[in-house]
Homo-oligomer: A and B are copies of this chain.
Amino acid sequence: MKIITNATVITVNEQNEVIYNGAVGFDGGKITYVGKTPDDLSAYSEVIDGTNKYLMPGLINTHGHVGMSLLRGFADDLPLKQWLEEKMWPMEGQFTAEHVKWGTAISIIEMIRTGTTTFVDMYDHMDTVAQEVEASGMRGVLCRGVIGFCSEEERQQKLQEAASFAVRWNGAANGRIHTMMSPHAPYTCSPEYIQQILEKAIELNVPLHIHMSESKAEVAQNEQDYGVRPVAHLENLGVFNHPTLVAHAVHLTDEEIDTLAKYDVKVAHNPISNLKLASGVARVPEMLAKGVCVSLATDSSASNNNLNLFEELKLAAILHKGVSFDPEVVPAEEALRMATRYAADAVFQKDSLGSLEEGKKADMIMLNAAQAHYHPANDPISHVVYAANGYDVTDTIVDGQFLMKDKELITMDEQKAIDEVNRVFASLNQ
């Protein structure tokens, strides 16, 4: 048994407790103690001093495409269609497993450094992504995202590949990997194809992950193609009868928010990507008010351009105040829940992730609070959301294992990943 002592423990439990001079004990991958630092530490084989540190749950990033970090900074500030058709797709079309491997490696390094302990990934070459998750010690919720713009034979092949991946990796890496099935979006998969993927997800008992209502144009296209907006479209297809995590959900009517609440559809809110791609601002205060589970996500580094979820944490807390002219919406503690508790719910692991509580997984991070921007030592939750930064993280622990200790990466070689990512990027025809 190990214990971290003398820390400011931000539990994000139901009572939103902050414990000063707090401690968290853990045995293997599980939390065994959360409370004041005990006087008697003799039961613990290792005592880690958390003086001047905040200790909190690791953040959970509920939507992304880590392989795309290979395209960070390759194309910005372009209209979406041009960005996709002239820049992203021609490059991604050349990606091999090796490209995805190194894109994943730099992404995992960045997430470990900035305090993310679980990430959702929807992409191709997912065996490679899963291998990197396994080797790095991270926790992942992974799915092979399938696009139906191809022959029927290829579609069935992709579906089988996605199902095979979901079966082979679910529960792997000591339970650190969960899987999902993923029709990419209503505008890239036909209704029939979505239903086939849904049926497979039901058969395999894994959730669905899908992009939905990201842009105005997408909603208009859906109405033109199918006579209804994306929410009704997916509802009609039976998708929402199954556990589902939708990414974006930017353009919603009041009735659509009611529908998401009714079916307990989980939402991944990507505020930076939504702004950068000019998609708009999701109606987060309205969703939260109606009890929709809204979590935070980065999307990919091609539209962000990093995976530092602390940026989303702050932006989610301030953006909706500004656009609604209401300073009371999305208060700091609610934003923090969106990156932790609610995110654990969004990946269907609320009983084991998302807060520091006895019996939950030992996924946690420490922040260096001995810095000017953490003072005066007022409300730690305010400081985490509004003043802190991902690079304040000193220690990242997943499943009881240190992946970063005192800023040193334990499982990943950053310089090698940097060298390799530049090497494989240079191999692409631009």
The proximity string for A residues 52-90 relative to B, scoring 1 for CB distances below 8 Å and 0 otherwise, is 000000000000000000101110111110010000000
Q: Is A28 an interface residue (CB 8 A)?
A: no
Q: Is A425 an interface residue (CB 8 A)?
A: yes
Q: Give the Cβ gap from A81 to chain B, nearest Cβ, in Å.
A: 10
Q: In the complex where A73-B378, A278-B321, A318-B275 touch, is A305 in contact with B387 (Cβ < 8 A)?
A: yes
- Chain B residues in 8 Å Cβ range of A418: 370-372, 375
- Tell me the A326-373 residues at the B interface (CB within 8 Å): 326-328, 331-332, 370-373
- Chain B residues in 8 Å Cβ range of A323: 275, 280-281, 323
Q: In the complex where A73-B387, A278-B322, A392-B391 touch, is A373 in contact with B308 (Cβ < 8 A)?
A: yes
- Chain B residues in 8 Å Cβ range of A261: none
Q: Which of B73, B278, B308, B373 contacts A324 (CB 8 A)?
A: B278
Q: Is A274 an interface residue (CB 8 A)?
A: yes
Q: Is A383 an interface residue (CB 8 A)?
A: yes
Residue of B nearest to A391 (CB): B391
Q: Is A421 an interface residue (CB 8 A)?
A: yes
Oligomeric state, in copies: 2
- Chain B residues in 8 Å Cβ range of A80: 327
Chain A contributes a number of interface residues (CB within 8 A of B) equal to 71
The answer to whether A76 and B386 touch across the interface, beta carbons within 8 angstroms, is: yes
The answer to whether A389 and B390 touch across the interface, beta carbons within 8 angstroms, is: yes
- Chain B residues in 8 Å Cβ range of A74: 376, 378-379
The answer to whether A321 and B372 touch across the interface, beta carbons within 8 angstroms, is: no
Q: In the complex where A73-B382, A371-B414 touch, is A322 in contact with B276 (Cβ < 8 A)?
A: yes
- Tell me the A406-430 residues at the B interface (CB within 8 Å): 414-415, 417-418, 421-422, 425
18 new A-B contacts, CB < 8 A, other than A72-B383, A274-B322, A301-B373, are: A72-B387, A73-B382, A73-B383, A74-B376, A76-B382, A77-B331, A106-B373, A107-B372, A113-B372, A278-B327, A279-B325, A280-B322, A305-B383, A306-B373, A306-B386, A311-B311, A371-B418, A375-B421
* Top 10 A-B pairs, shortest CB-CB distance: A275-B322, A73-B378, A305-B386, A278-B327, A376-B425, A73-B382, A275-B318, A391-B391, A106-B372, A77-B331
